[in-house]
Structure 1
Amino acid sequence: MTKVFLRVATYNIRKALGNDRRRDPERTMRVIEALDADIVVLQEADMRLGLRPPSLPPALFDGRGFRPVVFAHGRDSLGWHGNAILIRNSIEVLSTAHIDLPGLEPRGAVMVDLHFEGRDIGVIGTHLGLIRASRRRQLAALRAFAGHSQISARLVAGDFNEWSGLSHLAGLGPDFRVLPSPPTFHARKPVAALDRIALTDDFTLHDIRAVLTPEARRASDHLPLVADLTLKGAS
């Protein structure tokens, strides 16, 4: 059986506002491009006002080899509640969905089913709330949301906003294992593993790392988190 190699990243881009207080979408795109990932899950990808326009203008994607997944929400934004998913141009989109998540703050999630190298993969991107009670409810909602997909191989990625470790993320349910991750926040001096990737057992993890390049340290208050995966059972 030939194994499929997949690189997935999650990155809170802080609306392209860097630690130097400069809003620089082109810099953010350079950081994303350098990840060389097949799938990139973004948080804070849209502005908060009006129709929530994207913080990464559509023209920036021209000629880069990847594109944002389009969600049917009637806004100009890349995703939903700032959550967006970028994929290589060669990957086929099978279906999309988005939901609001419960809690005191406006939060949400996006889901896309993809066809990649002969296999189907389900991806959910999210940004959980700052209040732990809200995060518990949001994890339960994400578990139910993931259950709507008929695809076995699924992953959830995003800014989970949990400072206290994996035990507080158990609400995602038995179908997902949340990967131990290096700290990604604050980008200047990372001390907290706020950004996470969770997988079904269809995947094998080969490597997971925070991106510590000088430009990544400047481009946002979060570092990108990258995981190299094998998809089991690929022919």
Structure 2
Amino acid sequence: MEISYKDRGLNYGDGFFTTIKIESGQPQLWQYHLARLRQCQQVLCFPELDEQAITNACLEAAKGCGLGVIKVLITRGVGGRGYGLPEHPEPKIIITQSDFPAHYFKWQEQGVCLSVSDIKLGHQPLFAGLKTLNRLEQVLIKAQASQQVADDVLVLDIDDNVIECSASNLIIVKNNQLFTPSLKLCGIKGVYLSLLSDHTQIKSKSLCLHDVLEADAVFMCNSLMGLVPVKSLDKQVFNLQTALDLKSKIEATL
């Protein structure tokens, strides 16, 4: 597929995407991914999507794949003067398939070590929770994380609130209650977090680093890795067996 150098996704990050796990030839959690695409379309004032056509294309891309990843990326296409919107936009839909990150299986069983990122997220409530193409903060966060010994990083916002990890949501457990950081000002609400929220009581609230360090268990999650226990955050060590037991109980509700 060819992409024009004038495409608004390339020039302005004018678009959105979602990343889907393929298992046994089927896109997983598809209705949640479709809801995410629909929300982005509405907030960013895109034309209504042909959801059936996108669904059929993803089913075709997943066919015959035992385990893999599909990415659906949608731009506003070409047109408009500068930042101005085209009068009759023709969105570009790009669907690609790739290998599944094999290290996620190890993470699920053995947990991960986190460190706190030095790069902090800015506030933009208009796009908070959405997975738009504007991901430069995450690019820099991932670049820094790759230079560290830890498996991944915990990311704060400019007010030092805990928000997420480099490519996943965060859940903490304290006194048998589940909490996840508020995403009203920044961050991305993942599909797997939405799934968990529909089956398990998870309270969204402002969390600071102290809240995470004092938690009984900590997890990362996204639609590819599922629920992954955190076994340490910098010098703080968490009980991995406690997290694994809680992970089994949470997953049993799905």
Normalised to the residue count of structure 2, the TM-score between the two structures is 0.24
Relative to its length, the structure with more helix (as a share) is: 2
Normalised to the residue count of structure 1, the TM-score between the two structures is 0.25
Higher RCO, 1 vs 2 (CA within 8 Å, ≥6 residues apart): 1
In our comparison, the structure showing a higher alpha carbon Rg is 2
